[in-house]
Structure 1
Amino acid sequence: MKKIGFIGIGLMGLPMAKNLLKAGYELKAFNRTESKAEPLREFGGKISKSIEEVVSDNDVVITMLTDDSSVDAVMNSQEFLDNLKVDATVIDMSSVKPTTAISHGNNLKSKKINYLDSPVSGGTIGAEEASLAIMVGGEQKVFDDASDVLKAMGNPTLVGPLSSGQVSKLANQIIVGLTIGAVAEAVTLCEKAGANPNKMIKALSGGWADSKILQTHGKRMIEKDFTPKGRTSVHLKDMNNILECANSYNTHLPISNLVKEMYKSLVENGHGETDHSSLYKEIERINKK
């Protein structure tokens, strides 16, 4: 069975690493704040003190980090590059720009290290239930070899060559971001017009407008509970990456641009650390003008 190193034990990384341990993998974990990785000990995980230690002698190294700069800091470090085993596979499950995936994939390939860009969707619930949607870019052979590891965390699909996973994640975030906006407007309209928004959600169940976002995020909006599951600041980063990627292919995404501006305003008004369903608050602000 493959030996795994896992870098980034946060809201998502912790349950993902836990599921790998439950599946029987030997796993070493590293996190800058070591205490966040401590819960893995009771599942048989080992806590590493350094990047060198977590990378050394592992068949697979998984990174689950916040953004491009944190991925770059790890993957460009000599501590990381000099201690990977030849023919090891690096799986970056962070959400980063497609250009970042291409850069790291090519650099690792030159050192005879395999690479898959494998961002995820499904939030903390999907991470806990090992039901994450895992979008993968890379070579078929590398994907086939790593699929057992990926399946312990969710449902992996090889979308295409290097960076295709990240492009698919951007597509995912277009749909999520725009749908959150639509649900926020629907809930707001019901509240303003005197219709019961909870009953509206029930009435729409099973119809064309039904979705996980309507059922989950709609209820958060009604209850005004914006405890972060997926942070607004992270979704703003995603919307910026979507538009940058589209621009590089001379493609216009007008609705994504509108939603990006709304997330930008939300962050500027102090809601960066709330759940991304708090886009409802931006609709509320607009209506108070």
Structure 2
Amino acid sequence: METIGFIGTGHLGYPIAENLLRAGYTVKIYNRTREKALPLEQLGAILVGSPEEAAVKGGIVLSLVADDHAVKAIATDALIKALGAGGIHVSMSTVSPDISRELAALHREQGVEFVTAPVFARPEAAAAKLGNAVISGEAAAKERIKPLLEAGFAKNIFDLGTDAGSANVLKLIGNFMIAGAIELMAESLALAEKNNVDPRVAHEMLTSTLFTGPIFKNYGTMILDRKFTGNPSFSAALGLKDMDLVLQTARRSYTPMPIANLVQSRLTSILAKDIHDADWIALAMGALEDAGITS
């Protein structure tokens, strides 16, 4: 098996890198905080000191970082040159469509393909390879990386064509729909509780009949259990970043999104209260508190 580069072993990147190692790939890993990647060294990972050191000529580098600034910081001329002609940079981050289009053009100038493949999965789903990938980029490059996505996290892969930004648009849509579902459930469960209907019975009935998807089941349970803070798998700060990107994309395409404005406000309120260990499920606190329910 070929040697793969991997940049960014945070909450989501770590289990994906671990899966690739367990699948037999040699993985060169760069993480800004080296200590967080040290356990992967015991599985055979090669830890390196810079993004470009993770690259192999003509090979593949996967990156999974926090935001536009971070992906631009690692997608340097040095990394592109280290990959060289025939190389592929796979961006699995949730970033703006515009930054992906910009980086795709920069990579292509030097014969390197840039494929966007944002991850639809929380860390536990990625670890179990039950995630979903949406991909956009050049056709041959996408075919080459599919086995890595399947080995790393993806149960399903959806191809969105050649525009590097398309996969990012769909990822933002998906995250917006999850945030909207959290708000919907929080308001509904608050209404049940305020009218003396057991919210757990309401949730059980609704998620076993009309709303059977994992988002309603899993996030609904987290709302009922008030699992808002602690060690977040996906932080409120990252959720706010994504809603900012959703609304940025919406403004540029003249698409009104009033629900996105609401959940953006909910997440802003969480951070304004200095609740910095909050998972983005904590946006549900707004609806509960508005109804006078202690969260």
Letter in 2 for 1:211: G
Q: How many residues are matched?
A: 288
* 1:255 shift after superposition: 1.8
Q: For residues 116 and 172 of structure 2, what CA distance do their matches in structure 1 show?
A: 13
Aligned counterparts, 1:100-249, within 5 A: 100-152=99-151, 153-154=153-154, 155-161=156-162, 162-226=164-228, 227=230, 228-249=232-253
Q: 1:126 and 1:288 mapped to 2: Cα distance?
A: 34
Deviates more, 1:137-146 or 1:60-69: 137-146
Segment drifting more, 56-65 vs 228-237: 56-65
Deviations 1:34-63 (A, max 9, x none): 111111122221111222321244611010
TM-score normalised by the chain length of structure 2: 0.92
Instruction: Give the letter for the 2:23 counterpart.
Output: A
Match in the other structure for 1:55 = 55
Q: Distance in 2 between matches of 1:83 and 1:252?
A: 42
Is the 1:233–1:273 Cα contact (8 Å) retained in structure 2? no
SS of residue matched to 1:65: coil
Larger deviation, residues 180-189 vs 92-101: 180-189
Given that 1:3 and 1:58 are in contact with CA atoms closer than 8 Å, whether structure 2 keeps it comes out as no
- RMSD of aligned C-alpha atoms? 1.7
AA partner of residue 156 (structure 1)? I
- Cα distance in 1 between the residues matched to 2:277 and 2:236: 6
TM-score (norm 1): 0.94
Letter of the structure 2 residue corresponding to residue 18 of structure 1: E
Shift, 1:272, TM fit: 4.3
Runs of 4+ in 1 over 4 A off after TM superposition: none
| Structure 2: tracts of 5 or more residues without a match | none
Q: Offset at 1:269?
A: 2.0
Write out per-residue CA displacement over residues 110-165 of structure 1, whole angstroms, 9 at most, x where no aligned residue: 11001111111111112111121111111222111211111112122111221111
Q: Tell me, in whole angstroms, the C-alpha distance in 2 between the residues paired with 1:224 and 1:272.
A: 16
Q: How far is 1:288 from its partner?
A: 4.2
In 1, Cα distance between equivalents of 2:212 and 2:203:
8
AA partner of residue 274 (structure 2): G
What is the distance in 2 between the residues matched to 1:113 and 1:85?
6
Q: Which moved more, 1:29-38 or 1:252-261?
A: 252-261
Letter of the 1:223 counterpart: D
Alpha-carbon contact 1:60-1:89 (below 8 Å) kept: yes
Distance in 2 separating the partners of 1:288 and 1:132 = 36
How big is the shift at 1:194? 2.3
Cα offset, 1:249, TM superposition? 1.3
2:65 maps to amino acid: L
Aligned to 2:90: 91
Alignment of 1:250 with 2:254, yes or no, is yes
Q: Rate the CA distance shift 1:272–1:181 in 2: closer, same or farther, 3 A.
A: farther
Code of the residue aligned with 2:158 in structure 1: it is T
Shift of the 44–70 alpha-carbon distance from structure 1 to 2, 3 Å rule, reads same
Q: Secondary structure at the match of 1:83?
A: helix
